[in-house]
Amino acid sequence: DQDFFRFSGIFRPVELLLIPSVTIQDYRITTPLYENYTKADVHIEGKLSSTSQSIHIRLFDQGKEIASQEINNTDQINVSFALEKIHLWSAEKPYLYQLVMEIMDHDEIVEVVKQNVGIREFKIIDGIMCINGKRIIFHGVNRHEFTPDKGRVVSYEQTRKDLLIMKQNNINALRTSHYPNQTFVYDLCDELGLYVIDEVNLETHGTWSDRFDPSIFLPDNK
């Protein structure tokens, strides 16, 4: 159908999760850069399901702890780490830091969240898409979650192999045509160095015709 094979059934993992009474519901990490891309702030903001006894937030560089902060009796996260002599992330050099957040409740660690962090700035400068102030030259492909032997069921190992083949052929970007991919796809792109154009499938083929009459969507009395 159109541009990929469609199958019925469940083709992604289904999980049942038991989460603690105090858990991180959402969080966002930003990395504003300054002083000609030599310094950065790693800013973490988030919301918990309820008040936590304490939240211990640590940032690691290749296994070495470089910053940490503990906040107590709150259901909000709002923490910044100021870094110097930073390593920037790009497709050519996909350098990643590691963020660890430990949630305490009744003197016990009830949740640990780990997240890779790439310090980079994506910005349009004079009409040109730039990463860390330099023009991006895309060598990209459209990609579907598909294998010849298992259809839409694509494993982590097969996906990693696919992305490594892309890198070996100087491909530095992929478009998730036409749906959000599995979570590990984005993690692998962070790790291996691939820019991602992430799509959400909102297609409007029915409105393309010059015979389209918008009045069909209006009430009879309009």
pLDDT at 222 over 60: no
* Selection from 47, 104, 48, 42 nearest residue 79 by Cα: 42
* Selection from 192, 166, 175 nearest residue 94 by Cα: 192
State the amino acid at position 25 in one-letter form: Q
> Do residues 121 and 131 lie in contact, with contact meaning Cβ atoms separated by under 8 Å?
yes
pLDDT at 216 over 80: no
pLDDT single digits (tens) 12-64: 989 998 989 899 999 999 999 999 999 999 999 999 999 999 999 999 999 99
Q: Which helix or strand (DSSP H or E) is residue 78 part of?
A: strand 64-84
The angle formed by the CA atoms of residues 58, 61 and 63, to the nearest 5 degrees, is 85
Distance CA 60, CA 58 (A): 7
183-192 and 156-168 helices, crossing angle to 10°: 40
pLDDT at 193 over 80: yes
pLDDT at 53: 93
Arithmetic mean of pLDDT over the chain: 91
CA 112 remoteness from chain centre? 18
pLDDT at 209 over 90: no
pLDDT at 7: 85
What is the three-class DSSP state of 171?
coil
Q: Using the CB atoms, write b or e for 60-90: b if 16+ within 10 Å.
A: beeeeeebeeeeeeeeebebebebeebebbb
Token pair 């996909």 is found at 94
Helix ranges, 103-202 (H): 156-168, 183-192
pLDDT at 150 over 60: yes
For residues 127, 143, 118, 32, the Cα torsion angle rounded to the nearest 10 degrees is 30
What is the three-class DSSP state of 31?
coil
Tokens of 118: 């790439």
